[in-house]
Structure 1
Amino acid sequence: MSEFNEFDQQGSVPGKDTGSIISHAFEMYKGVILYAIVAMIIYVIGDSILQSITGFNSWNIAEEIRDTDGNVSNFRSYYSPGLSLYYSFSSILGALLSPLYVGLIYIINKYNTKSTVEFSDLFIGYRQNFVNILIYSLIAHVVLRIALAMCGIPFFFVFPFFLLGYPILLFENASATEAMGKAYNIAKDNYGTFLGGSFLGLILSFCGVFACCIGIIVTGSFITAVMYSTYCAFLGKPRQIVFKQ
């Protein structure tokens, strides 16, 4: 069980522009990089198990992206055996592991407010508002997967509407529909900034693919820092979560 305590905290807040948000996210991410790596390793292990079951190797796509400088129009990997089965279950896997991203956002907030971070904080999403995080993540994965299937480009225009969902679920203990509605309304009114922030955040998260692919473990979670910094910019420093013993 948890409650929210609202009080004056230390910590920085970025301006409401793309440059300030990305700069703030970068500073936050540097401070929690080890936890981000752990989260990505857990995800990679889960994804590897799924790939071994379906027979599909998603690393082939990463290698093709690196070898073709991002030209995805003629990817051979799109015709790989097991692709359909892999994508059918990857959304479920993503939803089950999404509390790790929520936990990382919580750790980033602790780092920003100079609070003591514990390793168990990474798993707070499995204790705090888990059902709503799971529902929200499933919906987001389905919508973004559809956008990604439409030549990829619509994905970048849809993603900004989901940028604040996880922080709202965590810090405001909102339901999945409340988080989705609030994230959409704020993004709609500030779409230029959200589009720029999410686009750069995704590019920087994905840039590890070009570092022998394994670099994605280091960069892959950067988008969570962008989510947190965007939340701070438009909704202020989050309230501190205090667990009752």
Structure 2
Amino acid sequence: MSEFNEFDQQGSVPNKDTGSIISHAFEMYKGVFLYAVAAMVVYIIGGVLIQSISGFNSAGFAEGIKDAGGDFSNFHYWNAPGFSLYITLSGLLGLLLAPLYVGLIYIVNKYNTKNPIEFSDLFIGYRQNFVNILIYSILSGLISTVAMWLCFIPFFFVYPLLMLGYPILLFENATAVEALGKSYNIAKQNYGTFLGTTVLGLLISACGIILCGIGLIITAPFIMVVMYSAYCAFLGKPRQIMFNK
């Protein structure tokens, strides 16, 4: 069982503009990046296991894309050995690890409020509102996937509407539909700020690619911290979650 205690006076809140939110996220990320890396390591280990189970050769697949030279008319990626199983298992992995990313948001909140952090905090999403986190992950994943299939660019215009979902699920114990609706309504009313925040957050998260890809372990989770900072900016300081042990 969990109980919600009102948030105390500690903790910073950014202004309702892109620059302030991103700056706030940077400050938060500097204090929790080791936990973010831990979450990414779990994801990478899961990815390696999935590739081993499926028999999919990602290196060979990438080489095939490179050799195609931009002409993909004869490149049948669904026929690649193990590709279908790999995609299926990867989707399942992403779904099951969604609570881990929620846990990172919880750790950011504890850092912001000067509360002691425990490694077990990373797994709070598996105890707090777990089912709704999974449902929201499915719904937001479907929406994002459809947007990406539409020439990819629409994804950047749709994703801002989903930015507050995970923090709402965690701090307000909302249902998946409530989180989706509330995130959509707030982002729609402040769309310019959310669009700029999302694009910058995603670019920063992806910048680890330039470090031979390995840098993604450090930068990829940044977008989750941006979600927390955006929540603070538009919904105020969240309530602290306390668990009876």
Q: TM-score, normalised by structure 1?
A: 0.90
Structure 1 residue 142 displacement after superposition: 1.7
Task: Give the SS at the match of 1:32.
Answer: helix
Superposition pairs of residues 142-157 of structure 1, within 5 angstroms: 142-157=142-157
1:230: Cα distance to partner? 0.1
CA gap 1:131/1:64 in 2 versus in 1, 3 angstroms:
same
Any idea what SS the aligned residue of 2:242 has? Answer: strand
Q: Distance in 1 between matches of 2:124 and 2:231?
A: 18
Call closer, same or farther: CA 1:9–1:150 in 2, change over 3 Å. Answer: same
Aligned length: 240
5+ residue gaps in structure 1?
none
Structure 1 residue 8, shift from structure 2 partner: 2.8
Q: How far does the alpha carbon of each residue in 1:103-146 deviate from its partner, in whole angstroms, 9 at most, with x for none?
A: 00000000000000000000000010001001110111122122
CA shift, 1:62, in A, is: 8.3
With structure 2 as the length reference, what TM-score do the two structures score?
0.90
Q: Which has the larger radius of gyration?
A: 2
User: 1:95 offset after TM fit, Å?
Assistant: 1.1
Question: 2:200 is matched with which residue?
Answer: 200
Residue 96 (1) aligns with residue 93 (2): no
CA distance in 2, matches of 1:77, 1:205: 29
1:63 and 1:213 in contact (8 A); partners too:
no
The correspondence of residues 150-189 of structure 1 with structure 2, limited to 5 A, is 150-189=150-189
Residues 24 and 60 of structure 1, relative CA distance in 2, 3 Å threshold: farther
Counterpart secondary structure, 2:173: coil
Bigger shift: 109-118 or 1-10? 1-10
Q: Given that residues 94 and 141 in structure 1 are in contact (C-alpha distance below 8 angstroms), is that contact kept between their aligned partners in structure 2?
A: no
Give the corresponding residue for 2:130.
130
Contact 1:156 1:195 in 2 (8 A): yes
State the Cα distance separating 1:59 from its structure 2 match.
Answer: 6.5
Say if 1:57 and 1:240 are closer, same or farther in 2 by CA, change over 3 A: farther
Equivalent residues of 1:21, 1:233 under 8 A apart: yes
Cα distance in 2 for partners of 1:62, 1:11 equals 45
Partner of 1:82: 82
Deviations 1:1-40 (A, max 9, x none): 1011114330110010011000100110010010000000
Is 1:243 aligned to residue 243 of structure 2?
yes
Hey, what does 1:116 align to over in structure 2?
Answer: 116
Contact 2:40–2:221, Cα closer than 8 Å, also in 1: yes
Amino acid aligned to 1:112: N
| 8 Å Cα contact 2:7/2:237 also seen in 1 | no
- Structure 1 contact 169–175 (Cα < 8 Å) conserved: yes
Counterpart in 2 of 1:34?
Answer: 34
| Aligned residues with identical type, % of pairs | 68
- 1:150 partner letter: L
Let me know the Cα RMSD of the aligned residues. Answer: 2.4
* Helix, strand or coil at the partner of 1:39: helix
Q: Which runs of 5+ in 2 are unaligned?
A: none
Contact 1:62–1:209 at 8 Å: present in 2 too?
Answer: no
Shift in alpha-carbon separation, 1:63–1:211, aligned structure 2, 3 A? farther
| 1:22 aligned partner | 22
1:209 and 2:209 correspond = yes
Amino acid at match of 1:243: F
Structure 1 runs, 4 residues or longer, greater than 4 Å off: 57-65, 72-78
* Distance in 2 separating the partners of 1:205 and 1:199: 10
